[in-house]
Structure 1
Amino acid sequence: MSEQPVFVLGRELQSLELAEFATEAEFQELLARHPRVLDFGALADGRPLRLVLVAREMRVPSSAEGGAAYWLDHLFVDADGVPTLVEVKRATDTRIRREVVGQMLDYAANAARYWPAALLQRSFEDSCLQGGRALEEVYGELLGERSADEFWTTVEERLAAGQMRLLFVADRIPLELRAIVEFLNRQLRQTDVYAVELTQYRGGGDLRVLVPRIHGEVATAAKSPAGRRTAQRTTRADMEAVIGSRPDPEVRRTAAALLGHAAAHGRPEGGTAKYRSMSAYYPVAGRQVPVWTLSLQEGPVRDDLSFAFGSITHHLGPEGAAAFAASLPALPELADKLEALPAKGYNAWPSVSLASLAAEPDALERILSAIQSLMVMGSCGAPS
């Protein structure tokens, strides 16, 4: 069946025909100038999502020394400080099927390690200058009561924790890519992955109609406020309600102690997954760094404490991460995962169940002591 036109009714009926983007550069320029076509979902407080361009062709180094560089098509950010990485491909490009997925994951992994707040801020302000956007006006939409330094530090922290969106944008999304995106979106703990199919129709003169379709965990979840993972953030009260339902008093005590320690010495922040989760940020090396995430899942019950070694490594290097790993309790469930960290460059999320943690005498105290040592280490520098 041939593609049907779109009709615009004004003083008379006008037909708009399906039209390809002439070049990938044209496609990219469109998104840079009009990011509203990618604004699906909502911010944590329920406000509509509004993406703001940080940079087009954002350089992604492959090592701390600079190394070989990659180039991300677009980097956007929203008012919650969540970065959005975008790769654009036309349907005629065969890389849209599988190669682009590995490419995007490579970008995300290296961006989380090698994009400091100062670089992000400078890239954003340069892009505003080049695009003729008034810096004060754009910052007015982003910052709220925060300073620019505080905002970009938040963006850096989210990158290090893997809290980002990955968007694959094309004029046609093949089924192979759609299946991979849906799989990744189900599996990744902190990262949202979507494919955006942007169809273009052209009429007389400069008239164009752009129709975005979102594909993710399920297409309707991305369009429904009830289904958007970004629409509701877990609160401390939410966590306490789930903890209170657990029958084991030691599990309840352990979970409450973790949350209490985060509130007293760091900053707890609720997650946006379908299950209840909360991450703890602690002052490390002059920054608020995500150190652990507590996840409380139902049906069947699964309560896990995961350690954010990727962000710890990002701020303290492998030696600092190794010292933190060595100070954690060698629980049977956790020991093998910690031993595997060097082979992964200390860029992983080893986890332990709350039941195992609660059953081991002094394990909780050792974890809290390790966190205190991590904060001291960060103030003094990683061990040499």
Structure 2
Amino acid sequence: MADQPVFVLGEGLQALEAAAFGTEAEFQDLLARHPRVLDFGTLSDGRPLRLVLVAREMGVATSADNGPTYWLDHLFVDADGVPTLVEVKRATDTRIRREVVGQMLDYAANGARYWPAALLQRAFEETCEADGRSLEEAYGELLGEGSERSPEDFWTTVEERLAAGQMRLLFVADRIPLELRSIVEFLNRQLRQTDVYAVELTQYRGGGELKVLVPRVYGEVAMTAKTAAGRRSPQKTHPDEMDAAIESRYGPEVRRVARALLSHAQGRGRLVGGTAKYPSMNVHYRVAGQWVPVGTVSLYESPAARAELAFSFGAITKRIGLEAAAAFAAALPAVGGLELKLAEQRAAGFRGWPQVSLSALAAAPGAVERVLAAVDQLVDGQGASSG
């Protein structure tokens, strides 16, 4: 059956006929300028959901050492810090049936791993600048006027939700095929933390510039199976859990390195439990009057109980500057391929998460001591310059 017109009653009766979007770019631009068409549902406190654009064409890396491999059409976020990933396809694009699902899951998995808080904050602020919006206005809309939350705390919440899989995945098209609807319903029943929707956005045009957009949401029926318990806040790694994993999984040399890193942070800074499915601890230090996440110690169950230290260069650069990040990198030991990764970071402006295995640090005499000396230099040098 052909699409029936929509009638607008004013001084007379005007019929608006269904009209396809001319290009995918036109479709994408509409969503970026008018995210209200995707606002359905409520926030945790019962307020209406309002999505705010973080970035259009958000880069998605597949490694901590490389730049973006893929590009997500839109990344939005709400006031609860829940990210919303959006892929847009017109009905004429055959990828809307199955290929787009694998594509979206790829973006979600890698975004959860390689979108640190500093990168997300920078993307949002660059979008605001490009749109000619002041950051004060933008954060007022996002966090609420008079909110006591800092932007850094908010984006850390977004990062934690990503790591825990607490996100929305939205497939948007002018026609949602039955195959995609079935996949969306299935994914929603299986995924406890992630919400999956398909949004059919039909456009109607009348005389002149008159347009009507009619969204229809698929996936909400399956949402009733998700309980509040399945959506609880991500659980952070407890220090006892971290200690137990270190003791049970690793030999004496790797245990020595892990405990040296964590003990140093506990003594000179603070430890913040990670929210990933594997045990992890973020090490924060007070630098130039602010807390800076310097790195993360992660203990993976596979392959072969791998343990890593990842350096948060994006956060260091964002909070205390490129010069400090470069000096910190220069002081780190050249072990386990770290020298090459740091060279790549230097060329990219120190924005990534280069990592080194704890076994490589354990195998090189004095390596962990050099890492800790580099941290001391970062903390003391910046503290002295800020005084």
Bin the TM-score by the shorter chain: 0.5 to 0.7
| TM-score, length of structure 1 as denominator length | 0.64
What is the CA deviation profile of residues 293-350 of structure 1, one whole-angstrom value per residue up to 9, with x for unaligned ones?
Answer: xxxxxxxxxxxxxxx12x8499987x8324xx5xxxxxxxxxxxxxxx428999xxxx
Which residue of 1 is the match for residue 150 of structure 2? 147
Residue matched to 1:10: 10
Match of 1:299 in 2: none
In 2, Cα distance between the equivalents of 1:164 and 1:314?
22
Tell me, in whole angstroms, the C-alpha distance in 2 between the residues paired with 1:67 and 1:106.
16
Kindly indicate whether residue 153 of structure 2 is the aligned counterpart of residue 198 of structure 1: no
Q: For residue 180 of structure 2, what is the amino acid of its counterpart?
A: L
1:162 paired to 2:165: yes
Q: Which residue of 1 aligns with 2:236?
A: 281
- Matches of 2:149 and 2:228, distance apart in 1: 20
Q: For 2:299, which of 321, 327, 343 is the aligned residue?
A: 321
Question: Displacement of 1:84 after TM fit?
Answer: 0.3
Distance (whole Å) between structure 2 residues aligned to residue 61 and residue 140 of structure 1: 30
Match of 2:303 among 326, 337, 342: 342
Q: 1:37 to 1:283 in 2, by over 3 A?
A: farther
Deviation at 1:214, TM superposition (A): 0.5
**Pair 1:95-2:73 in alignment:** no
CA contact (8 A) 1:62 1:69 kept: yes
1:55 aligns with 2:55: yes
Q: Is residue 186–residue 217 contact of structure 1 (8 Å, CA) maintained in 2?
A: no
Find the aligned partners of 1:290 and 1:382 in 2 and give their Cα distance. 20
Encode CA deviations 1:50-97: one digit per residue, 9 max, x unaligned. 000000000001111115610000000000000000000000000000
Structural mapping, 1:215-230, within 5 Å: 215-218=218-221, 227=224
- The alignment's TM-score, normalised by the length of structure 2, stands at 0.63
Q: Work out the CA distance in 2 between the residues paired with 1:34 and 1:56.
A: 13
Q: Which residue of 2 aligns with 1:104?
A: 104
Residues 160, 314 of structure 1: 8 Å contact kept: no
> Is 2:172 the partner of 1:186?
no
Matched, 1:29 2:7: no
Q: Alpha-carbon deviation of 1:170?
A: 0.2
User: Does residue 1:115 correspond to 2:115, yes or no?
Assistant: yes
State the alpha-carbon separation in 2 of the partners of residues 52 and 287 from structure 1.
28
In structure 2, distance between residues paired with 1:345 and 1:216: 38
1:132 deviates by: 2.1
Where 2:235 maps in the other structure, the secondary structure is strand
Contact 1:42–1:228 (8 Å) recurs in 2: no
Mapped partners of 1:148, 1:278: distance in 2: 19
Q: Counterpart of 1:290?
A: 275
Q: Which digits, 9 at most, give the CA deviation of each residue in 1:151-183, with x for residues without a partner?
A: 000001111111100000000000011111111
Cα displacement (A) at 1:105: 0.4
Over residues 161-219 of structure 1, what are the superposed CA-to-partner deviations in whole Å (9 max), with x where a residue is unaligned?
11100000000000011111111111012110000000000011111000000001528
Amino acid at match of 2:83: P
User: Are 1:27 and 1:88, in contact at CA under 8 Å, matched by a contact in 2?
Assistant: yes
Q: Is the 8 A contact 1:84 1:167 kept in 2?
A: yes
CA shift, 1:279, in A, is 4.1
Report what 1:133 is aligned to: 133
Whole-angstrom distance in 1 between the partners of 2:211 and 2:238: 50
Is the 8 Å Cα contact of residues 59 and 68 (structure 2) preserved in structure 1?
A: no
SS in 2 for 1:195: strand
Partner of residue 326, structure 2: none
**SS at structure 1 position matched to 2:236:** strand
CA 29–283 in structure 1, closer or farther in 2 if over 3 Å, else same: farther
The CA RMSD over aligned residues, in Å, is: 2.8
Counterpart of 2:298, as a letter, is G
* Partner SS state of residue 127, structure 2: helix
Q: 1:344 to 1:383 in 2, by over 3 A?
A: closer
CA–CA separation in structure 2 for the residues paired with 1:344 and 1:69: 27
Give the aligned length.
267
Partner Cα separation in structure 2 for residue 345 and residue 192 of structure 1: 31
Could you tell me whether the CA contact under 8 Å between 1:195 and 1:216 is conserved in 2? yes
CA distance in 2, matches of 1:50, 1:2: 33
Kindly report which structure 2 residues correspond to 1:233-248, keeping only aligned pairs within 5 A, or say none.
233=228
Give structure 1 stretches of 5+ with no counterpart: 222-226, 235-270, 292-307, 326-340, 347-380
SS of 2:299's partner is helix
- The percentage of counterpart residues that share the same residue type is 70
Structure 2 SS opposite 1:178: helix
1:124-144, Cα deviation, whole Å (9 max, x unpaired):
011011112232122012223
Cα distance in 2 for residues equivalent to 1:163 and 1:74:
17
Partners in 1 of 2:139 and 2:161 — Cα distance? 19
Distance 1:121 1:279, change over 3 A: closer
Any conservation in 1 of the 2:63–2:114 contact (CA below 8 Å)? yes
Aligned to 2:176: 173
Q: Deviation of residue 100 (structure 1)?
A: 0.3
